[in-house]
Chains A and B, each alone.
Chain A
Amino acid sequence: MRRYRTPLLLALGLAALIVAPIGQGNYIVYTLCSWLIFSIAATGLNLTLGYAGQISLAQASFMAIGAYITALMTLNGVHWLLAMPCSMLACFAVGLALGFPALRVQGHFLAFVTLAFNTLVFLVLRNEDWLTGGVYGLVGMERPGFGLFDTSKQLHFYYFTVAVFAVALAGMWWIVRSPWGRAFKALRENPIRAESLGVDTRRLTLLAFAIGSAYGGLAGALVAPLVQFIEPGSFALVHSLRLLLMVVVGGAGFFFGPVLGAAVVILLPEVLRFTEGYYLILYAGSVIVLMVFCPTGLIGVYGRLRQRLFPQRVVRGDMATGPQL
């Protein structure tokens, strides 16, 4: 029975995703779309942060790169199916180029470099208007059509997003289960020991960052057709911090942590809206409380309760402390 539990729940989850938007207004469908898209970006960031233990503050700018490449290509008549991989590849390459110097050095310089990079990307997007449309951004990207299935309808686009989401998570699932994933886990739980067993921590960390960035690119490739309008402001530093928040609030290093985190970060303001102007304060406040009392995020809370109930289960290496800077 235990063995069938996971696939069963996953199937249930997928089913829920399929029925979720039925009979709902466009706004809710739209919100669900952006939840899935941000989940993809956050899942990528989770690989960098939760598995390889490096902080990236540029995930939003990778979404930007992905979104603009996809937008420019589709506006010039290239099909999304071609534009998407290009976006991901570009982000992967940029990730390597950016990560290499930063990860060469001891300490957490990736956080600093990415912080700067995010703002630089914003400036370039705003100033090079011959290419990016500057402050006015790019408008009117067609949503992709697949023969009989055309995604220009909100609901159709939602199912399209669900499909990409499922594939993306499956891909991440594969990575995490592969020897790489095992090495990442080892890295997270005891880097020194991992290194002594021949794990090339430096190279793995770099690759984790690059792959995470590529997932950002994928999310961007979906944002372009969803909003059908992109401008630099939507990918500013604050959005990178928002993604970071999603990962950490959900539970860094847990496979579904970012998905949960994205749901919370996107929906909590919605739920708190009745408090008028105060909801941002309450929202940020509750984040602080969560971080103080359970650094491992919401799934961590669950883990702790579980600890109480089944003490023989051991806590993950960094459960007590959360990912470390």
Chain B
Amino acid sequence: MNAPAMNALPPVLTVRNLSKSFGAIRAVRDVSFDVRRGEILGLIGPNGSGKSTLFNCILGQLAPDGGAVAVNGRPISGSRASTLNKLGVGRTFQQLSVFPDMTVLDNIIVAGQEHHGSMLSRLFGPPDAGLTEEAERLIEFFRLGHLAHEKAGSLSYGQQKLLDAAMAFMAGPGLVLLDEPAGGVNLTMLGSLKERLLTYNAEHGTTFVVIEHNMEFVMSLCSRIIVLAEGAIIAEGSPEEIRADQRVIDAYLGG
């Protein structure tokens, strides 16, 4: 897709001068960036570079010391996770976060039901909130169709990761933040995960922000990459640019 046309619209996510310290440690230092509609942005950096802290500040899990975060130009600092989700922000967690004792189908439905109908219709309406078909489509899309009625906890790790991601999409969000989606997933699974994410992005124009350790995965998935080191942005650009960037290499080699 061509960037200029996208720039016309307001950024999906704006982060301005975000800072967060734990005692003496300044985990995030005055970070600012925009995320454009439909792009796949990668956030990378060596361990302890502040990726996760930044992520949690954006999502309101942590209260930043300073700075502002806005979704579609609307400030979201301090709003609850559920409100954020209703604003069309989906997320996944670093550690597996499926509901192990519920079936795959239920996992997906619960991810969408709060966006359908009212409190009352959710009590007196159909038990599946009329979402079964939509859910099954999404499950199919993530190639989990044959497991729809298995308990999520009985799936393989990779499958659970897929499910975890799928849940973030059920509500049809405009922006999805993926926290280390590739973590601990085997190569074949990784391939299909990446392929699925790219397809989804192409089909729905959904914006992604991805935190990842796995360089190859990020490089091949993202259209743009921001590199953090010691809590500050040290580089930004296309995968190619980043590959070539000396500062990044230094940072990773512990320069």
- Given A183-B114, A196-B91, the answer on whether A316 and B101 have CB atoms closer than 8 Å is yes
**B101-A317 in contact (CB<8A):** yes
- Would you call A180 an interface residue if the criterion is a C-beta within 8 Å of the partner chain's C-beta atoms? yes
In the assembly, what is the distance between CA of A190 and CA of B153, in Å?
13
In the assembly, what is the distance between CA of A314 and CA of B228, in Å?
39
- Would you call B102 an interface residue if the criterion is a C-beta within 8 Å of the partner chain's C-beta atoms? yes
In the assembly, what is the distance between CA of A200 and CA of B128, in Å?
18
- Would you call B39 an interface residue if the criterion is a C-beta within 8 Å of the partner chain's C-beta atoms? no
Residue numbers in A under 8 Å from B201 (CB-CB): none
Chain A residues proximal to chain B, CB less than 8 Å: 175, 177-180, 182-183, 185-186, 189-190, 192-201, 203, 207, 312-317
In the assembly, what is the distance between CA of A66 and CA of B221, in Å?
61
- Would you call B109 an interface residue if the criterion is a C-beta within 8 Å of the partner chain's C-beta atoms? yes
- Would you call B115 an interface residue if the criterion is a C-beta within 8 Å of the partner chain's C-beta atoms? yes
Residue numbers in B under 8 Å from A317 (CB-CB): 99-101
Residue numbers in B under 8 Å from A207 (CB-CB): 119
B 87-111 to A, binary, CB cutoff 8 A, 1 in contact else 0: 0000101000111111000100111
Q: Which of B70-102 contact A (CB under 8 A)?
A: 80-82, 84-86, 91, 93, 97-102
Residue numbers in A under 8 Å from B80 (CB-CB): 195
In the assembly, what is the distance between CA of A195 and CA of B82, in Å?
5
**A198-B99 in contact (CB<8A):** no
**A179-B100 in contact (CB<8A):** no
**B97-A190 in contact (CB<8A):** yes
**B101-A196 in contact (CB<8A):** no
- Given A179-B122, A198-B114, the answer on whether A186 and B102 have CB atoms closer than 8 Å is yes
Among residues of A, the one whose C-beta sits closest to the C-beta of B59 is A196
Main secondary structure on A side of the interface with B: helix
Choose among B84, B115, B123, B154 the residue with the greatest number of A CB atoms under 10 Å from its CB.
Answer: B123
In the assembly, what is the distance between CA of A189 and CA of B97, in Å?
9
Whole-angstrom distance between the Cβ of A320 and the nearest chain B Cβ: 12
- Would you call B129 an interface residue if the criterion is a C-beta within 8 Å of the partner chain's C-beta atoms? yes
In the assembly, what is the distance between CA of A102 and CA of B71, in Å?
32
Some 20 contacts from A to B, beta carbons below 8 A apart, are A178-B122, A178-B125, A179-B125, A182-B110, A183-B110, A185-B99, A186-B110, A192-B81, A192-B93, A194-B110, A195-B81, A196-B59, A196-B82, A196-B93, A197-B167, A198-B114, A199-B110, A313-B154, A316-B101, A317-B100
In the assembly, what is the distance between CA of A133 and CA of B14, in Å?
66
In the assembly, what is the distance between CA of A137 and CA of B241, in Å?
83
Name the contact of A179 in the complex, choosing from B91, B102, B113, B170 (C-beta under 8 A).
Answer: B113
**B153-A314 in contact (CB<8A):** yes
In the assembly, what is the distance between CA of A192 and CA of B170, in Å?
17
Name the contact of A182 in the complex, choosing from B85, B102, B124, B154 (C-beta under 8 A).
Answer: B102
Q: Which of B171-219 contact A (CB under 8 A)?
A: 171
**A314-B81 in contact (CB<8A):** no
